[in-house]
Amino acid sequence: MTTRTIVVTVPSQLAEIVTDRMWQWGVQAVSETVLDTDRVEVATSVGNKSIAVERAMATLDPSWPTEIRDVDDSIAQVAPEYLSPTWYLDGMVSVPASLLPFEPDDRHALVTVIDPGSAFGLGDHPTTRTAMALLAGLLRGDRAVPCTSLLDVGCGTGALALLAAQLGVREIRAIDIADAAVEATLRNMELNDVVGTIDVDTAPVAEVTGTYDIVVANILAPVLIAMADDLRRLVRPGGSLVISGILAERHDHVLTALAPLTAVESLAHEGWMSIMLR
Ligand SMILES: C[S@@+](CC[C@H](N)C(=O)[O-])C[C@H]1O[C@@H](n2cnc3c(N)ncnc32)[C@H](O)[C@@H]1O
């Protein structure tokens, strides 16, 4: 089997812009290969469906030389020996499905199992683990807030929505632009025994109505800024918004866009930061 890989070759100073664009497609990995002193090849896959490949490529600048290569799956897959469970808080762990059966020493641990399919997220990325830790703090323990409804914007494999379901939130909606995210979230509801608890679809955030006690959005800064009005609208007065996917060193512009919501707590890991606002 082969995987269709989109490869963009650009001068090195453009590599970060191309990489950011590709992460917004909801991919699991983006590779950068230095070709010579000035050129970098940036590559990823959105799966083999032509419609998904075309939709992704339409968001690239036409001046960037782009090609599609068929890569052998045995090279493209992450080998299980490179995966590990992610303990994002005491007693709370996310586990790639390929590591099952998983028997933690702490028999009371809350385990969230994640099969990524073709969507973003094994639960181990710094943006996911810090968002899961902030969300867990909102939903259990001394500082828990009342929460009957939660919206996960950019759900990927559903890690955050699944955690909310496991912690008993009754009404959960999850949306993502990628079909693969819907498929993965449905599958992960089965793996975590929470079938039917999350309504998941590809509705644009602008079309979501109502308000939620908690809104979570782990998406890159430019996307968070573009949807800031919708995020504000969707948090009920006095509710909480957890944002992630932003750089620890550079995020003031995101907070400015979300004002008058105000940051009340944050967590950083490996240069990334999650922030809770009220
Ligand atoms: C960094 S991943 C986060 C996935 C998951 N929530 C997590 O924490 O692991 C960002 C997700 O946002 C989705 N996304 C990007 N732009 C979006 C948009 N405008 N509306 C909804 N989802 C979007 C991507 O497809 C991707 O699945």
Nearest CA to ligand 1 atom 18: 177
CA atoms in the 13 A half-sphere facing the CB of 21: 18
Q: Which of 23, 120, 134, 246 to mutate to test the pocket of ligand 1 (most atoms within 8 A of CB)?
A: 120
For residues 126 and 192, membership in a common domain is answered with yes
Residue-level pLDDT at 136: 98
For residues 143 and 36, membership in a common domain is answered with no
For residues 273 and 219, membership in a common domain is answered with yes
Mean pLDDT by 10 residues, the chain (278 residues): 86 89 79 85 84 86 91 57 87 94 93 87 90 98 95 96 98 93 95 98 97 96 94 98 94 97 96 96
- The CATH number assigned to the domain holding 132 equals 3.40.50.150
- The CATH number assigned to the domain holding 27 equals 3.30.70.120
For residues 226 and 159, membership in a common domain is answered with yes
CA 246 vs CA 32, 147, 226, 232, 250: distances in Å:
20, 25, 14, 17, 7
Residue-level pLDDT at 238: 96
Which long-range CB contacts under 8 A does 145-151 form with residues at least 24 apart?
A: 145/213, 145/214, 145/240, 146/213, 147/213, 147/214, 148/213, 149/173, 149/211, 149/212, 149/213, 149/214, 150/212, 150/213, 150/214, 150/215, 150/216, 151/175, 151/208, 151/212, 151/214, 151/215, 151/216, 151/234
For residues 249 and 263, membership in a common domain is answered with yes
Can you say whether the dihedral through the CA atoms of 21, 25, 26, 32 is positive or negative? negative
37 alpha carbon – ligand 1 mean position (Å): 33
Residue-level pLDDT at 210: 98
**What residues line ligand 1, using a CB cutoff of 6 Å?**
24, 26, 119-121, 127-128, 131, 153-156, 159-160, 175-178, 181, 205, 218-219, 223, 245
Nearest CA to ligand 1 atom 8: 128
The answer to whether the pTM exceeds 0.85 is no
